[in-house]
């Protein structure tokens, strides 16, 4: 697995962009577990995904970027409506 190779060089930050695109449910679950273990060991994982439910299910913190700027920051537990509003550029949202 590619994550294993990344761990061999002992990075401090791992950036994964759409890591589960095109894989079956079992592989998706395995990828999530691997990333969670890496994060628990102290590695910072930047998880990029277009699947909102996946992001909210995996991440401990969510930054919504709109037009190149951080629109909002959220921490679990998430209010999905607020996250979606930030995604569409709604301003004035409090940072949770």
Q: Where are the domains of the chain?
A: 1-57, 60-96
Q: Which of the four pLDDT bands, split at 50, 70 and 90, describes residue 2?
A: low
Rg of the chain's alpha carbons, rounded to an integer? 14
Whether residue 5 has pLDDT greater than 80: no
What confidence tens digit (pLDDT) does each residue in 20-78 have? 999 999 999 999 999 999 899 999 999 999 899 999 999 999 998 888 889 899 999 99
Question: Strands (DSSP E) along 1-96, which ranges?
Answer: 13-17, 44-48, 61-66, 69-75
What is the C-alpha separation between 38 and 67, in angstroms, rounded? 30
Whether 92 shows a pLDDT value over 50: the answer reads no
Whether the per-residue pLDDT at 85 is higher than 50: the answer is yes
The residue written with tokens 């679990």 in the block is 76
* Calpha distance 36→26 (Å, rounded): 15
On the question of pLDDT at 13 being above 90, the answer is: yes
């Amino acid at each position: 697995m590619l994550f294993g190779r990344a761990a061999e060089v002992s990075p401090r930050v791992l950036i994964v962009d759409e890591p589960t695109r095109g894989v079956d449910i079992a592989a998706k679950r395995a990828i999530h577990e691997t990333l969670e273990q890496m994060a628990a060991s102290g590695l910072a994982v930047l998880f990029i995904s277009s699947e909102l439910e996946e992001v909210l299910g995996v991440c401990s913190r969510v930054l919504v970027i709109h037009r190149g700027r951080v629109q909002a920051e959220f921490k679990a537990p998430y209010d999905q409506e607020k996250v979606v509003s930030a995604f569409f550029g709604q301003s004035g949202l409090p940072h949770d």
